[in-house]
Structure 1
Amino acid sequence: MTREEQLAEAFVGLADTLADGFDPVVLLDRLAGHCVGIVGADTVSVMMATVRGDLRTMSVSAHAASAELVQTQTREGPGRDCYRTRLPVDATHLDDLDGRWPRFTAQAQEAGYGAAHALPLRVNHQTIGSVSLLLAAPTGLLPGDLRLAQALADVAAVALVHWSPDPARPMDILTHVQAAVAAKATVEMAQGMLVEHGQLEPAQAMEALLAYSGRNGNRLTSTAQALVRRTLEPSVVLAARG
């Protein structure tokens, strides 16, 4: 299987919250496994925040570090700092940290690791945990691999907050499908209104809808509904095209 095929399967597996057997534990185990098997980390741990703001280890890849190191990461290290700052943390040379994480660094080096990264586990700009990636080589991962790991973490986090312990009923799925169909119809009606009002091509009308929605922090469907209901004037939306 090529890496592209692995990635396709990984993203589908992380996002399919309606699949049989899908649950949060399986989801985070998959995330850790993909960060090892596809991204190239040697050991990965996924931590999530409790209501008190403490970090709890939710998953550790099969090539696990010592239990002591796993526990230390919830209190000290790149994963903890990543969660606190909401920003990625890179420690590509653990032997050159000037005492930043003394306990974590000593335990990681003793276990044979030379570099570490941490990425935020986030949903809609809210950080709910972090993903720690440990590597034996003291050089760390390439920027492209880190972006890939962040994308996998983002998909997993979104799937996590949309997971429900109750299996989806066929009627629930049908309701969501019909809502999407109705939303598309509303957008097309709004697009037609802009085409007529501004003497535009359909693609130009869609650009105006997207520009206005993005500038005002609205969903595309919300803008379309406002146009269709006549609570928003086409001229106001067209002005967003600049």
Structure 2
Amino acid sequence: MPRAQDQIVVMLSELTANLVDRHDAESVLRLVTAACESLLSASATGVLLADPRGGLSVVSASDERARFLELLQSQIDEGPCVDCVRDDAMVACPDLEDGAGRWPAFTRAALDAGFRAVHAVPMRLAGDAVGGLNVFYAAVTPWEAWQERLGQVLADLAVLGLSQDDGPARTHRLAEQTLTTLNDRVMLAHAIGMVAGALDTSTDEARRLIFGYAATNRGLVRDVARKLTGGDLDAAALLQAADAS
């Protein structure tokens, strides 16, 4: 276990260091592929991304077998990655023999290529699935819960690397985001004070109520703070939501 932990730390540190430094898409995807092979013991990997025309395009593959299978999925609109992106959910197929009825053409091609299992992980951006990370195995391979979580982390890091600006535009965006964050903090502090005063409670409790209301309603904390300070949301509603949950 210590050795596995060391591997995870090394691989993730390389990935994150690459994200904060100057990088290109190819280098990020190469690191994600290496992490899948090292940490998830993958035989091969591939990445499909949604393109503006509404289909899926192959943007990365660890070898030609994986590239062929990714291209096949994009062309026939069939396979675990297609389902993964369409349903925005992880698709696990620990034994492709069991998936023959679900994806007949893909399964036949994957087995012929020497793969027996595949796990497809959604790549999400702004709440939508924009692609899928496919992890192939030569033998029957079920994933444990920690592997599912790690697979999702790697897919998320790949999206971060592919969606970030580089150079001056990236620095400018960070400055804008910092200013927005500072403004949000001021507004949140105002909202906390208003809730604490209206409910005659502590600021810690007021903060908990605001965050809890945002989580229950699947909203953003800054939006809740804006509604409170703008008079569109009453402090009592936060208390009622907390009591109902």
Q: Structure 1 length as normaliser, TM-score? A: 0.82
What is the distance in 2 between the residues matched to 1:83 and 1:38? 23
RMSD: 2.8
Using the TM superposition, give the Cα deviation of residue 165 of structure 1 relative to its aligned residue in structure 2, in angstroms: 5.5
Moved more, 116-125 or 92-101: 92-101
Note if contact 1:113-1:134 (Cα within 8 Å) is conserved in structure 2.
yes
- Which SS does the other structure have where 2:133 is aligned? strand
Distance 1:239 1:159, change over 3 A: farther
What is the distance in 2 between the residues matched to 1:40 and 1:91? 16
Distance 1:101 1:228, change over 3 A: closer
Moved more, 98-107 or 48-57: 98-107
- Which SS does the other structure have where 1:119 is aligned? strand
What is the distance in 2 between the residues matched to 1:198 and 1:235? 7
Q: Is 1:83 aligned to residue 85 of structure 2?
A: yes
Using the TM superposition, give the Cα deviation of residue 146 of structure 1 relative to its aligned residue in structure 2, in angstroms: 1.8
Distance 1:240 1:159, change over 3 A: farther
**What does residue 37 of structure 1 align with?**
38
Correspondent of 1:115 among 114, 117, 120: 117
**What does residue 72 of structure 1 align with?**
72
Distance 1:227 1:89, change over 3 A: closer
Note if contact 1:41-1:141 (Cα within 8 Å) is conserved in structure 2.
no
What is the distance in 1 between the residues matched to 2:35 and 2:183? 36
What is the distance in 2 between the residues matched to 1:147 and 1:205? 33
- Which SS does the other structure have where 2:204 is aligned? helix
**What does residue 132 of structure 2 align with?**
130
**What does residue 193 of structure 2 align with?**
192
For each residue in 1:165-199, what CA deviation from the matched residue of structure 2 results, as whole angstroms up to 9, or x when unmatched? Answer: 66336554333223222222221222122222222
Could you tell me which runs of 5 or more consecutive residues in structure 1 were left unpaired when the two chains were aligned: none
**Mapping of residues 201-216 of structure 1, within 5 Å:** 201-216=202-217
What is the distance in 2 between the residues matched to 1:37 and 1:231? 51
Note if contact 1:47-1:59 (Cα within 8 Å) is conserved in structure 2.
yes
What amino acid is aligned across from residue 43 of structure 1 in structure 2? A
**What does residue 25 of structure 1 align with?**
26
**What does residue 16 of structure 2 align with?**
12
Q: Structure 2 length as normaliser, TM-score? A: 0.81
**What does residue 143 of structure 2 align with?**
141
What is the distance in 2 between the residues matched to 1:169 and 1:231? 35
What amino acid is aligned across from residue 144 of structure 2 in structure 1? L
Note if contact 2:15-2:31 (Cα within 8 Å) is conserved in structure 1.
no
Using the TM superposition, give the Cα deviation of residue 149 of structure 1 relative to its aligned residue in structure 2, in angstroms: 0.5
What amino acid is aligned across from residue 19 of structure 1 in structure 2? D
What is the distance in 1 between the residues matched to 2:10 and 2:176? 32
What amino acid is aligned across from residue 40 of structure 1 in structure 2? S
Could you tell me which runs of 5 or more consecutive residues in structure 2 were left unpaired when the two chains were aligned: none
